[in-house]
A and B are shown apart, each in its own frame.
Chain A
Amino acid sequence: GDSVTQMEGPVTLSEEAFLTINCTYTATGYPSLFWYVQYPGEGLQLLLKATKADDKGSNKGFEATYRKETTSFHLEKGSVQVSDSAVYFCALKDSNYQLIWGAGTKLIIKP
């Protein structure tokens, strides 16, 4: 079945560092891909998405590009802030329109 694999955390960075959180997927067809963020004490929020190959999703300085050849959707940000500390989830939407989740990566940004 479809699956999503993302790098284990926690990822600890200093403020203004460059961020990459890896995400790869296995799926039949061409799923839509998503990054969700969960801030402490809150539910998940959609951060960005891409619906077809080579699409780039972006929001709040974060970017991710749908790479069909490497089945990847890595999350990047050029300069992280303490307020970016959260848990980040990669997900895909399967042919039944259900979301398949990665395990989540905790990001800790130190001032």
Chain B
Amino acid sequence: DTAVSQTPKYLVTQMGNDKSIKCEQNLGHDTMYWYKQDSKKFLKIMFSYNNKELIINETVPNRFSPKSPDKAHLNLHINSLELGDSAVYFCATQGGGAEKLFFGSGTQLSVL
């Protein structure tokens, strides 16, 4: 079983559309993250959820909204997509204060 799974793996869409990326984990971890990796391969944290409470929002535009229906899921909704949103988005989990992160395989978003 995949520990952290993201869907879709690839997402191609037009500017102005609204899209969602799903993330599910079966590790029972308390904390989940969304990261954005840009074309320069820099990884930036977007959101962190701990027991369904948002605890970090790194000045991400409010077009991006994380939604956590339960402890195992953290979905990322993006409204009014812009060209600059094109990137790879990674979901990750962290459990019990441990430093080890478990990453999903990433979602490559291309906005045309």
Q: Which residues of A contact B (CB under 8 A)?
A: 32, 34, 36, 38, 42-44, 46, 49, 87, 89, 91, 93, 96-99, 101, 103-104, 106
CA of A49 to CA of B102 in the docked complex: distance in angstroms? 17
B66 close to chain A: CB less than 8 A: no
* 5 tightest Cβ-Cβ pairs between the two chains A and B: A43-B103, A97-B97, A104-B42, A87-B41, A103-B42
Question: Which of A32, A34, A89, A97 has a CB less than 8 Å from the CB of B43?
Answer: A89
Q: Are B41's CB and A106's CB within 8 A?
A: yes
Q: List 30 A-B contacts (CB under 8 A).
A: A34-B99, A43-B90, A43-B101, A43-B104, A43-B105, A43-B106, A44-B43, A44-B92, A44-B101, A44-B103, A46-B99, A46-B100, A46-B101, A49-B99, A87-B41, A87-B42, A87-B43, A89-B43, A91-B99, A97-B97, A98-B31, A99-B99, A99-B101, A101-B44, A101-B45, A103-B42, A103-B44, A104-B42, A106-B40, A106-B41
